[in-house]
A and B are shown apart, each in its own frame.
Chain A
Amino acid sequence: MIDTPRVGLFVCHCGSNIAGPVDVESVADYGLTLPGVVFVQRNLYSCSDAGLREIKEAIADQRLDRVVVAACTPRTHEPLFQDACREADLNPYLLEFVNIRDQCSWVHMREPEAATRKAQDLVRMGVAKARLLEPLEEQQVPVEPAALVIGGGMIGMTAALNLANRGFAVMLVEREAELGGMMLRLHTLYPTADDPRKVVQERIAEVQRHDGIEVCTSTVVSSVKGFVGNYEVTIEEMGPGQSNALETGDDSHPSVDAPTPRFATAGVIIVATGAQVLEPEGMYGYDGRRVITQLELEERLRTDQLDAGRVVMIQCVGARSAERPYCSRICCTTAIKNALEINDRCSGVEVYILYRDAETQGPRYEAIYGQAREAGVHFIRYDLGRPPEVTEERVLVYDEMLGATLSIPCDMVVLSTPLVAPSGARELAQMLKVPVDEYGFFLEAHVKLRPLDFATEGIYVAGTARWPSHLEETIVQAYGAAARASTILSKEHVTSSGIVARVNGHLCRGCGRCVEICEFGAPTLEEASSGMKGAHVNAVMCKGCGTCAAICPTGAMQACHFTDAQVAAMVRAALEPSVASLASGNPS
């Protein structure tokens, strides 16, 4: 760079989110003293229309060639500000984002001075890097107008149909031998008492009729490579008896059942692998006969095998406990629905629901709760510290309201257990390079700002793979994920990031270590006219992790946007004596 950079610094108040603990004015004032900074502005909300307009105007009026935004997290907001730069004719990679909210004001709320000092340090680090930023080129990648939907339950099918109806080719992969998933095992749906099998069979028929959907049952996804617009997927059809087995094993005798790999390309992927019900092994004498799960009760109701005079249901079995603290959301309404059904069906049967908190959110579900009360279903509240006890013929429960232990004779005990992540969820997550939470549910990019999206572009999630939810909510998610997916599929090209590795040909001596370490096949060794070998990076295949730059022994490989010089500048800035110690004895 010949010209000295002209850095514009924009400090966001984020309402009081930042400006509460952090003295934003002093951060802005301090910013103006930093080398390279020619313009500083505070915004109430930098991400608002007004904030973005001010940034664009300042770029033009002040002839800014670097922009530093000190606000929230680049993980959600960087693209917005990059667009603003683009609109103001500034290369979007000349933006540096400084996080003074999630990693400063919010985590040092009770230490305003330390928070302000840290915000100043972070701004200094950001400006130091910004001065060395370079414009980067993005690549246009053609989009394969096809989707891979993983999971052939109600949600996967709904998403697949939705995309197919928009004219995109869909490959729907289900590891079981038939489509339908959990819905096939249920008896009725709340709040409408629809027959789930009827609902799901209709959907299966629609899917099978649709020319645009290729259904692959007894099939698992065994590898995923590539990137948004161009995922290269390998699927394997399981022979009989192999379905559900994710472990490959080394069963090497050549049989006709050996999985046959197939390859496909998909522009986007939707994960709709659902959930399974926790098997309460060893809890409350669970035996699958007299003590059964709510799901097993559904099956008995469906096949008309209910034979009991008194039924006791126990809620939150294996849920909202130390091991599994989450509420599975569907169990209260399910139990109440089934209690009502038993009540209607067999007169004289008494149903007890032992609960900790009855959660039937929303007007329609709450109405079912009211109905059950009226119908004479007994609700008894117990405490986690004094759980019910199941004996041969009775259930003993300490009733919190009465302050006494009740002994309820019963013929059947039904345990409401939570939805848990299905087997194989973690393996699938690793294959897709998307995160799951500690319970194995898929973790979206941002609960509020980017639900259904993964941080990895072009991969989406819907249904109970994401979190336990009611069917009507998960159907909405299926539409949502399909809509998100079609924002990619409807484009001819997607733009791949400019953050890639770059070779300095003068320094490269062709050792090939970058080729060895890269998981994506981006660098290759090519012969130059001199006959010497040198590394060359395919910018579309490069994902920009920078590992090749880290291992390059000569420094020929550079990770754009995270160059050695840029990182070193941040390090240096981080460790400069802080403002407060310079200004000590002179408190402002």
Chain B
Amino acid sequence: MVEFQPQIVVFACNWCSYAGADLAGSSRMQYAPTTRVIRVMCSGRVTVGFILDTFRRGADGVLVTGCHPGDCHYISGNENAVVTVRKTVRLLQLLGLEVERLRLEWISAAEGARFARLMTEFTGQVRDLGPSLLGNGAEREA
């Protein structure tokens, strides 16, 4: 049987996390090819709706990434990301989805290695959970 390949969407802020992803690239750090990054200007742009919609469309995991606390390019957008993710976690529980499918992580522009490590680690975490209830993973697994 082919190993289950989870589908993961990563929201990355332009100034830190996306830059960290670029650094992972220019340093040629290798990581799991399971993630698809959607760039937003700030992690504060991400809404509960974005995350739920992503799960509804079949994602097995969603990772929201932003600048470390205090480092947000727009001062406090990442504080809004904390609120958003917290709210969404409660909704995931209501929907019966494992809350471990959603994570919020801070990745700075200097943390290429951390970006790479998180991609592989989160892939492993989601793979262990198996396909999402709402996902197309069951077909992919077969």
Interface residues of chain A, those whose CB is within 8 Å of chain B, are 73-75, 99, 101-103, 106-111, 114-115, 117-118, 121-122, 125, 429-430, 433, 435-438, 443, 455-456, 499, 517, 519-520, 543-547, 549-551, 559, 562, 564, 567-568, 570-572, 574-575, 577, 581
* Chain B, 1-56, CB within 8 A of any chain A CB: 7, 9, 14-16, 18-19, 21-22, 24-26, 28-31, 33, 36-42, 44-47, 49-50, 53-54
- When each residue 73-84 of chain B gets 1 if its CB lies under 8 Å from chain A and 0 otherwise, what string results? 111110010001
Please tell me if the beta carbons of B71 and A430 are within 8 angstroms of each other in the complex: yes
CB distance from B123 to the nearest CB of A (A): 12
User: Complex formed: what's the CA distance from A459 to B21 in Å?
Assistant: 23
Chain B residues with CB below 8 A from A455, complex form: 15, 19, 109
Chain A residues with CB below 8 A from B49, complex form: 564
Please tell me if the beta carbons of A549 and B71 are within 8 angstroms of each other in the complex: no
Say whether B116 faces chain A, with CB atoms less than 8 Å apart: yes
Chain B residues with CB below 8 A from A568, complex form: 50, 53
Please tell me if the beta carbons of B25 and A567 are within 8 angstroms of each other in the complex: no
Ranked nearest first, the 7 interchain pairs of A and B with the lowest CB-CB distance are: A102-B25, A546-B45, A547-B44, A545-B74, A545-B42, A114-B33, A106-B25
Please tell me if the beta carbons of B22 and A103 are within 8 angstroms of each other in the complex: yes
Task: Given A103-B37, A547-B42, decide whether A571 and B50 contact each other with a Cβ distance below 8 A.
Answer: yes
Please tell me if the beta carbons of B45 and A430 are within 8 angstroms of each other in the complex: no
Q: Quick one: which of A102, A108, A577 contacts B136, CB cutoff 8 A?
A: A577
Q: Quick one: which of A74, A101, A547, A574 contacts B9, CB cutoff 8 A?
A: A574
**What are 7 A-B pairs with beta-carbon distances under 8 A?**
A73-B25, A103-B21, A107-B30, A436-B110, A546-B45, A564-B47, A574-B7
Least CB separation from B21: chain A residue: A103
Please tell me if the beta carbons of B40 and A562 are within 8 angstroms of each other in the complex: yes
Q: Quick one: which of A106, A547, A567 contacts B28, CB cutoff 8 A?
A: A106
CB distance from A580 to the nearest CB of B (A): 10
Please tell me if the beta carbons of B30 and A559 are within 8 angstroms of each other in the complex: no
Please tell me if the beta carbons of B57 and A545 are within 8 angstroms of each other in the complex: no
New contact pairs (15) apart from A107-B24, A562-B41, A577-B136, CB-CB < 8 Å? A102-B25, A106-B26, A107-B25, A107-B30, A107-B31, A109-B30, A429-B71, A435-B15, A435-B71, A437-B110, A519-B74, A571-B53, A571-B59, A572-B57, A574-B7
Chain A residues with CB below 8 A from B80, complex form: 517, 547, 550-551
Q: Quick one: which of A114, A430, A575 contacts B7, CB cutoff 8 A?
A: A575
CB distance from B113 to the nearest CB of A (A): 10
Please tell me if the beta carbons of A571 and B29 are within 8 angstroms of each other in the complex: no
Please tell me if the beta carbons of B36 and A122 are within 8 angstroms of each other in the complex: yes
Please tell me if the beta carbons of A435 and B41 are within 8 angstroms of each other in the complex: no
User: Complex formed: what's the CA distance from A454 to B95 in Å?
Assistant: 43
Task: Given A103-B25, A574-B9, decide whether A547 and B45 contact each other with a Cβ distance below 8 A.
Answer: yes
Task: Given A435-B110, A443-B110, A571-B57, decide whether A546 and B21 contact each other with a Cβ distance below 8 A.
Answer: no
Least CB separation from B78: chain A residue: A547
Chain A residues with CB below 8 A from B26, complex form: 102, 106
Q: Quick one: which of A102, A435, A520, A562 contacts B109, CB cutoff 8 A?
A: A435
Interface residues of chain B, those whose CB is within 8 Å of chain A, are 7, 9, 14-16, 18-19, 21-22, 24-26, 28-31, 33, 36-42, 44-47, 49-50, 53-54, 57-59, 70-77, 80, 84, 108-111, 116, 136, 140
User: Complex formed: what's the CA distance from A167 to B59 in Å?
Assistant: 57
Chain A residues with CB below 8 A from B38, complex form: 125, 567, 570-571, 574
CB distance from A33 to the nearest CB of B (A): 19
Least CB separation from A564: chain B residue: B49
Chain A residues with CB below 8 A from B110, complex form: 435-438, 443
Chain B residues with CB below 8 A from A562, complex form: 40-41, 45
Please tell me if the beta carbons of A107 and B28 are within 8 angstroms of each other in the complex: yes
User: Complex formed: what's the CA distance from A480 to B50 in Å?
Assistant: 43
Chain A residues with CB below 8 A from B30, complex form: 107-110
User: Complex formed: what's the CA distance from A373 to B36 in Å?
Assistant: 56
User: Complex formed: what's the CA distance from A106 to B33 in Å?
Assistant: 11
Chain B residues with CB below 8 A from A559, complex form: 41, 45
Least CB separation from B5: chain A residue: A114
Chain B residues with CB below 8 A from A106, complex form: 25-26, 28
User: Complex formed: what's the CA distance from A543 to B76 in Å?
Assistant: 13
CB distance from B107 to the nearest CB of A (A): 12
Please tell me if the beta carbons of A581 and B140 are within 8 angstroms of each other in the complex: yes
User: Complex formed: what's the CA distance from A544 to B19 in Å?
Assistant: 18
User: Complex formed: what's the CA distance from A73 to B109 in Å?
Assistant: 13
CB distance from A130 to the nearest CB of B (A): 14
Please tell me if the beta carbons of B44 and A546 are within 8 angstroms of each other in the complex: yes
Chain A residues with CB below 8 A from B15, complex form: 435, 455
Chain B residues with CB below 8 A from A429, complex form: 71
User: Complex formed: what's the CA distance from A228 to B53 in Å?
Assistant: 36
Q: Quick one: which of B29, B45, B109 contacts A550, CB cutoff 8 A?
A: B45
Please tell me if the beta carbons of B70 and A75 are within 8 angstroms of each other in the complex: no
Task: Given A75-B14, A571-B53, decide whether A547 and B77 contact each other with a Cβ distance below 8 A.
Answer: yes
Please tell me if the beta carbons of A546 and B53 are within 8 angstroms of each other in the complex: no
Least CB separation from A434: chain B residue: B73
Q: Quick one: which of B25, B40, B108, B136 contacts A546, CB cutoff 8 A?
A: B40
Q: Identify which of A121, A438, A568, A570 gathers the most chain B CB atoms within 10 Å of its CB.
A: A570
Chain A residues with CB below 8 A from B42, complex form: 545-547
Please tell me if the beta carbons of A101 and B39 are within 8 angstroms of each other in the complex: no
Q: Quick one: which of B18, B25, B36, B58 contacts A118, CB cutoff 8 A?
A: B36
Please tell me if the beta carbons of A545 and B41 are within 8 angstroms of each other in the complex: yes
Chain B residues with CB below 8 A from A75, complex form: 14, 18-19, 22
Please tell me if the beta carbons of A550 and B36 are within 8 angstroms of each other in the complex: no
User: Complex formed: what's the CA distance from A74 to B38 in Å?
Assistant: 12
Please tell me if the beta carbons of A111 and B14 are within 8 angstroms of each other in the complex: no
Chain B residues with CB below 8 A from A125, complex form: 36, 38
Please tell me if the beta carbons of B50 and A567 are within 8 angstroms of each other in the complex: yes
User: Complex formed: what's the CA distance from A86 to B45 in Å?
Assistant: 27
Please tell me if the beta carbons of B22 and A550 are within 8 angstroms of each other in the complex: no
